[in-house]
Structures are given as C-alpha cells and as structure tokens.
Amino acid sequence: MDYPIIAKPLVDEFKVRPNLDDYDRIRAGFHYPDVIKELDGLPGGALNIAYECIDRHIAHGRGDKLCWLWEGKDGSEERYTYADASRMSNQFANVLGKLGIAKGDRVFCFMDRVPELYAAVFGTLKAGCVTGPLFSAFGPDAAGDRLADAGAKVLVTSPDQRAKVAQMKPNLPDLKHIIIVEHGKEPVLEPGELSWNALMKDAATTYDIVRTSPEDPAVMHYTSGTTGKSKGAVHVHQAVLGHYATGKYVLDLHPDDIYWCTADPGWVTGTSYGMFAPHTNGVTSVIYEGGFSASKWYDVIQRHKVTVWYTAPTAIRLLMKAGDEIPKKYDLSSLRYTMSVGEPLNPEAVVWSERVLGLPFHDNWWQTETGSIMIANYPALPIRPGSMGKPMPGIEPGIIDEDGNLKPPGEEGDLALRPGWPSMFRTYWNNESMYRSKFKNGWYITGDRGRMDADGYFWFVGRSDDVINTAGHLVGPFEVESALIEHPAVAEAGVIGKPDPVAMEIVKAFVTLKDGYEPSDKLRGELLQFCRKKLGPGVAPREIDFIA
C-alpha cells in the first residue's frame, strides 16, 4: 500500500524558533560546541548532568517551575517543583557521602516510577557516581547479571523486589548497601536494609555538586547481545549536550510544555527522554506509575493537558487495537506533537494517528549506545510513513558496504555513524574489546541494516544480527537459552524472534528434552513460568515448541 507524505502545517509556537522551518539551514550551521553555550557548566570547565537538568533552572530564577507531575498506581497525584527536585537530589547525594560512596562508584535503582527514583538518579549524578536504572520487571537473573558486572555498591529498591534481591545478593560481593523505598510510608525493614526515609530525614538539603568533567562516566545502560551476557554501555556527562539539543530540535520542547514520556527509566529512553532532555529544557514532566490501558492513557493526557507525547510503537499498536471510538470520549486537544521510538513504526500507525488523533506520530531512530536521537522525523518536515526521517544536526549517518564505502541512494547496506557526537557511549563496562569491535573504517557500526532515499530520508530494513526486538526491548537469544537449559528437563534450547502484529516480535523457544521427560502442556507451562521468574516477563519466551 502506498501512503501519503504527511506534512502538518507549522503552528504558531514554531515561529519563536525560525530555524525549525528550515531544516537544511539549521543543519548546515549546527555545531555541538555551540550547544554548551546554552548550558551553564560548573566552575573550572566541569559539567554535570544533574546541575544542567535541575539546579541551572534555580540559578536562573525558575525554582518554582513545576518539574514532576506524578500520578501513582492508585490515582494519587503529587507535584514537585525544580526546587523540590534539587532539595531531594541534594539530600540523596549527602546520603551517599555518609555511606562512604565515592566518585565513580555505581549506584543502581530497581523499582517502579516513584519520585524517589528520580531523586536518586539525580543525587547519584551530583555525587559524581554512576547511575544505573534497572527495569523493575526484570527477573533476578537479568537484574543480578547487570549488578554483578557493574560492581554496584548501592541498590535502591522497594519491598516488592525483596524476593528477587534475596536471590541475587549471594552473587553480588561488591554490594554494600540496600536502601528500601516504600513511597508514602515507612517500610518495615529486614536485616541488612536501610530506610530511604530515615536516611533522607537526617540529610542536609544543600550540596556542593562534585566537579565532574565532561568525560567522567555518568550513566550505565545494559543492552543485550547475540552472544554472552548483557553489555554495560557507559555514557559520560558530556552526553547532556545531546539530550538538550534533541529535546529542543526533535522533541520541540517549549518552556510551557507538559511532556509525557511513557518509557520506564530502566531503559535508555526513560532516562535520556524521561529525565535528561525534558529537564534540561525546563519543562514539566508527567510521571505515570501505572501500566498500559488505552482509556487510562487518554485520561492522563486529558487531565494533565499533555502537549508533547513520546511513546513506543507497541503502545501505539495497542491503542489501535483498542479501537477508534475510545479516544473520541476524551479531550485530546492539548496535544500538539506526538513521537514514537524503540522499534520501527508501522506506516499504518502514522496514518491511523493522523486520522483518529488528529496528529501523526513522528518516528525517530537511535540506540542505547548512541545515547540520544540520531535520525528523526522533525515537526517542520514532511513525514514519510515508515521512514526514520533525516539526521539530527551534527550527526553524519551513512549506508555503507563491508569496506566502509558509502552506498548510493536506494541501496541497502549497513547503517553506520561517524563517531564523536557528545552522547556516544565511551565503552562497554569491562569489555573494551567488544567496544572496539563496533568501530570500523572510521564508522560506528550500528548493527542495523537500512537504506537512504534520494531525498535523504533513512529507512530501517532489519537487524544484521539476531537480537530480538520485542515491544521495543532488545533481547539476546543467548540470555533466554541459558535460562531454559537450567531447567532439569531441558537438554537443548534455541530461541528466535517470531513476527507479531503488536510487539513486532515475540520471543519463541524450541527445546529438546532430556531422557525421562515427555512433552506436555503442563511441562510447557512450567518452562514458561520458570523463565518468567528468572528473566522477567519482558524477556521470557511467550511460546515454546518441543522438538525431537
């Protein structure tokens, strides 16, 4: 089916940024060194993500601006200003100091989207430590592997993760402190645990932010690979330039925006675009703790008057599946810009959203390793449904052959990027050889296949390896196969991605059984539950076939 090129007319807000209606002009004149002039920095050439996200606004008299508009699973709402965010993150930075945690130490968070998580991330960065958010639905194996590899010294978590933590703890020799958060109440502690509330109560509300350099490690995100365990992509404080610039030119954030990124902070989108991009641009962020529901999501937009919405293709397909009638029940007129990321967005979804919501979803492309958006459908450019869009100013992508030579428009090849942008990962933790293997002939090799059309739009073709993209989460087959063969009934296991109309792919496993075991629905259910407990529902297989 041929889809039209959707071009939404420029609205009045864009006129305050004349460059937005001239992509070529801004791209030609854009230089990342100029971006730093729009941020503050710290004395002595220091740069700290938390300062640029939070305290910079206070220094410019915007401390009373609403920062977080939090809504809990139970429907309760709480509001936090930038001054509140500064105070809470200062307290946590002081807590880390009292616990003996020093610059460069790794501090991980493993809990749902509560305000304390955000305060912990920014407090960790202020202390010069490395923050590592974990997806709250990870099983003990998935979370434990990441904590062990990183040598995490502090884990901030919640009571409902205790069973997982208990399984992980014997394999975490570097872990010194477990801090328990139970939002809105004082937790009942178990031996070896510390109370977030008690620690914060005694902590000072002022803090002299550690003078981190632009190249000091700041954030660690783990990404699955085709072989071996997950790899920790390390990002530095200079990455904030990419977060700020893409927030301005791709997300088109304005000071009066109410912004909602639906991604969990345990994934890179939830930090880069759930925290850093909106905060550096000084907007109000909606933080919704609850899960997916079409009606609930539309209600969140209506009640909080969301203006800019960033979500995932799987969520959009679920909204489509819920039907065209539900959104008619809600006032979504506050929305002026909608975006999608995490996996390729179907052309049908762009056309559907234009027809039903009155706005097209603007797809964009980037990776855990790139740290920020590399290619995007901009608000002032025509959308070509199914395309990733055009490069972010300051970014040079290319479609190349095996020798690193550029291929002509229309031809498929490896999608690569010229290295050196601020948010580019600096290493894989404890795996420098793997990191170096990602660079060849002057290019960063993304592992994706694509093509560029004659007008400079990029199109995703597929992965060059066999990583499974399920609902925007990258799952390494090896990780799932390893879990399956730990079950006493399983002799061998092979895992693939099976095409799925909602999740893009689902994880499907094929297993052979050891002697003495026979295939049965009961055993299949047991294996599914076994994997869900070890890996978490987002990583575990959805289907299992027995083969001889």
DSSP labels, 198-235: HHHHTS-S--------TTSEEEEEEE--SSSS-EEEEE
The H-or-E segment that residue 27 falls in is helix 23-29
Q: Which of 194-208, 337-351, 407-421 has the lowest mean pLDDT?
A: 337-351
pLDDT band at 4 (very low <50, low <70, confident <90, very high): very low
Distances (CA, A) of 97 to 89, 92, 126, 167: 13, 9, 11, 28
Mean pLDDT of 294-301: 97
Q: Supply angle C-alpha 310, 538, 349, rounded to 5.
A: 40
Contact between 489 and 517 under an 8 Å Cβ cutoff? The reply is yes
Residue 10 has pLDDT above 50, yes or no: no
Distances (CA, A) of 21 to 10, 363, 367, 453, 495: 8, 18, 27, 21, 46
Name the more confident of 314 and 55. 55
Instruction: Show the tokens assigned to 515.
Output: 């002697």
Contact between 50 and 125 under an 8 Å Cβ cutoff? The reply is yes
What is the C-alpha to C-alpha distance for residues 364 and 446, in angstroms, rounded to an integer? 15
What is the C-alpha to C-alpha distance for residues 460 and 388, in angstroms, rounded to an integer? 7
The H-or-E segment that residue 478 falls in is helix 477-484
What is the C-alpha to C-alpha distance for residues 466 and 99, in angstroms, rounded to an integer? 42
Contact between 364 and 388 under an 8 Å Cβ cutoff? The reply is yes
Mean pLDDT of 162-184: 97
pLDDT band at 2 (very low <50, low <70, confident <90, very high): very low
pLDDT band at 63 (very low <50, low <70, confident <90, very high): very high
Distances (CA, A) of 24 to 8, 21, 248, 381: 18, 9, 16, 10
What is the C-alpha to C-alpha distance for residues 439 and 455, in angstroms, rounded to an integer? 27
pLDDT band at 224 (very low <50, low <70, confident <90, very high): low
Residue 36 has pLDDT above 50, yes or no: yes
What is the C-alpha to C-alpha distance for residues 439 and 444, in angstroms, rounded to an integer? 5
Mean pLDDT of 300-308: 98
Mean pLDDT of 110-116: 97
Q: What's the length of the chain?
A: 548
What is the C-alpha to C-alpha distance for residues 151 and 174, in angstroms, rounded to an integer? 5
Instruction: Show the tokens assigned to 512.
Output: 């052979």
pLDDT at 228: 57
What is the C-alpha to C-alpha distance for residues 11 and 182, in angstroms, rounded to an integer? 43
Q: Is 504 left (phi over 0), alpha (psi -120 to 50) or beta?
A: left
The DSSP code sequence of 385-409 is TT--BEEPTT--EEEE-TTSPBPPT
Sign of CA dihedral 170, 172, 174, 175: negative
pLDDT at 13: 29
Contact between 345 and 384 under an 8 Å Cβ cutoff? The reply is no
Name the more confident of 4 and 345. 345
pLDDT at 355: 93
pLDDT at 1: 32
Name the more confident of 327 and 538. 327
What is the C-alpha to C-alpha distance for residues 138 and 111, in angstroms, rounded to an integer? 10
Unique residue bearing structure tokens 């800019």: 308
The H-or-E segment that residue 350 falls in is helix 347-356
Contact between 207 and 90 under an 8 Å Cβ cutoff? The reply is yes
Beta bridge partners of 6: 383
Residue 230 has pLDDT above 90, yes or no: no
Residue 7 has pLDDT above 70, yes or no: no
Instruction: Show the tokens assigned to 337.
Output: 């810009």
pLDDT at 515: 82
Q: Which of 9-13, 306-310, 478-482 has the lowest mean pLDDT?
A: 9-13
pTM of the predicted protein model? 0.86
pLDDT at 58: 97
pLDDT at 282: 98
Contact between 35 and 241 under an 8 Å Cβ cutoff? The reply is yes
Q: Which of 43-52, 243-252, 314-323, 524-533 has the lowest mean pLDDT?
A: 314-323
Mean pLDDT of 192-219: 97
Average pLDDT along the chain: 91
Which residues have a Cβ under 8 Å from the Cβ of 74 and sit 6 or more positions away? none
Residue 296 has pLDDT above 90, yes or no: yes
Mean pLDDT of 267-272: 96
pLDDT band at 106 (very low <50, low <70, confident <90, very high): very high
Residue 329: CB atoms within 10 A of its CB come to 11
Residue 226 has pLDDT above 90, yes or no: no
Residue 315: CB atoms within 10 A of its CB come to 19
Torsion angle in degrees (nearest 10) through CA of 157, 163, 165, 166: 140
The H-or-E segment that residue 314 falls in is helix 313-322
Unique residue bearing structure tokens 């199109």: 459
Beta bridge partners of 439: 444
Instruction: Show the tokens assigned to 428.
Output: 């894989």
CA-closest candidate to residue 536, choices 487, 475, 489 = 475
Q: Which of 38-42, 45-49, 224-228, 487-491 has the lowest mean pLDDT?
A: 224-228
CA-closest candidate to residue 376, choices 283, 251, 270 = 251
Mean pLDDT of 186-199: 96
3-state secondary structure of 254: coil
Mean pLDDT of 490-500: 89
Name the more confident of 177 and 486. 177
At residue 248, φ and ψ (nearest 5 deg) are -80, -45
CA-closest candidate to residue 90, choices 39, 54, 64 = 54
Which residues have a Cβ under 8 Å from the Cβ of 181 and sit 6 or more positions away? 111, 114, 116, 117, 156, 157, 158, 187, 196
Mean pLDDT of 466-474: 78
pLDDT band at 410 (very low <50, low <70, confident <90, very high): very high
Mean pLDDT of 378-394: 90
Mean pLDDT of 183-196: 95
The H-or-E segment that residue 260 falls in is strand 258-261
3-state secondary structure of 18: helix
Sign of CA dihedral 35, 40, 41, 45: positive
Q: Which of 298-302, 350-354, 442-446 has the lowest mean pLDDT?
A: 350-354
Which residues have a Cβ under 8 Å from the Cβ of 249 and sit 6 or more positions away? 20, 26, 378, 392, 393
Mean pLDDT of 454-461: 92
pLDDT at 9: 30
pLDDT at 18: 34
DSSP state of 273: I
pLDDT at 156: 98
pLDDT band at 22 (very low <50, low <70, confident <90, very high): low
Contact between 140 and 147 under an 8 Å Cβ cutoff? The reply is no
